[in-house]
Amino acid sequence: MSAVVVDNRVRTARIVLVVLGVLVLAFGAWVLVTTVRPNRIGGLATWLLGAVVLHDAILSPFVLAVGMGLRRAGRALRTWVLVVVQAAVVLGSVLALVVLPEIAAKAHGTKNDTVLPFDYTTRLLVVEGVLVAVVVIALVVGAVTARRRPDQPVVAGTTSP
């Protein structure tokens, strides 16, 4: 690691931000211990630790693998096709992350009929189906236009030329 050069103004701003941050964080810790009973803080600690472990040990490797798969699958795709496929995969994944707990919450039971009123399973399947259709259409259109214009180079997506 090369020597890090820190500008004087940056150094001052950094000290102010870190000191302020420590104070705000300490205030948060104080609010926590004064408003939440000690036996509940243990449960919270488990959730905080669990969230990091779940993200770093399970979700991240999964996303990395999907990213590599997309990169491999995308090396023969035209740029716009690859961008459409990527956007659809990311949107589909985030929607699943948001709506699957909603389905679970509804299955768990709601307090009245105006809470979670929709059939979220069907709706999620329909939206994911639309995204799959968009991906298929993009792939087909990309393949057809590439065949019609063979002189146009196929862009190697996010990969090397």
Partner 1 sequence: MRHTRDAMASPNRTARSAVVTGRLLGIAFLVCFLTGVYSHLLQEPLGWMRFPTRPVQLYQFTQGLHITAGIAIIPLLLAKLNVVMPALVQTPPVRSVLHLLERASIAVFVASALVQVVTGLLNTYQWYPWPFPFKQVHNALAYVLIGSLLIHIGTKLQIITRYWRKRDSFDAQGRFVADPTVGSELPDPNQHDPNDPAGQEARPGSASPSGGFVGRLHRWIDGTPAPGPVAPATDTVPVTRTAASADGRRQRVARRGFIAGVTAATAGVVALTVGQSSAVGEPFNVFGPRKRHLGQNGLPVNRTARAAGVLATATAADWALTVAGPSVSRTFSRAELIALGQTEARLPIACVEGWSQMATWKGVRMRDLLAAVQVDPHVHVRVTSLERHGGYRIMEMGPEYTADPTTLIALELNGEKLDLEHGFPARIIAPGRPGVLQTKWIERIEVIA
Q: Is 141 in the site for partner 1 (CB under 8 A)?
A: no
Does 8 sit near partner 1 (CB under 8 A)?
no
What's the closest the beta carbon of residue 22 comes to partner 1, in angstroms?
A: 7
Rounded-to-integer distance, Cα 96 and Cα 126, Å = 12
Rounded to whole angstroms, the Cα distance separating 35 from 32 reads 5
Looking from the CA of 62 toward its CB, the CA atoms found within 13 Å total 8
119 binds partner 1 (CB under 8 A): no
Work out which of 48, 132, 136, 140 binds partner 1, going by CB under 8 A.
48
Q: How many residues bind partner 1 (CB under 8 A)?
A: 94
Tokens of 77: 């795709």
Q: Percentage helix, strand, coil, to 5, in the chain?
A: 80, 0, 20
Q: Is 130 in the site for partner 1 (CB under 8 A)?
A: no
- Does position 133 interact with partner 1 (CB under 8 A)? The reply is no
CB of 140 to partner 1, least distance (A): 20
Site for partner 1 in 77-116 (CB under 8 A): 79, 82-83, 86-91, 93-95, 97-99, 101-102, 104-106, 108, 110-116
- The whole-angstrom separation of Cα 30 and Cα 15 is 22
Length of the chain in terms of residues written: 161
Q: Contacting partner 1 (CB under 8 A), which of 16, 133, 136, 140? A: 16
Q: How far is the CB of 69 from partner 1 (least distance, A)?
A: 8
Determine which helix (DSSP H) or strand (DSSP E) holds 74, and give its type and residue range: none
Among 118, 125, 129, 136, binds partner 1 (CB under 8 A): 118
Q: Both tokens of residue 109?
A: 């039971």
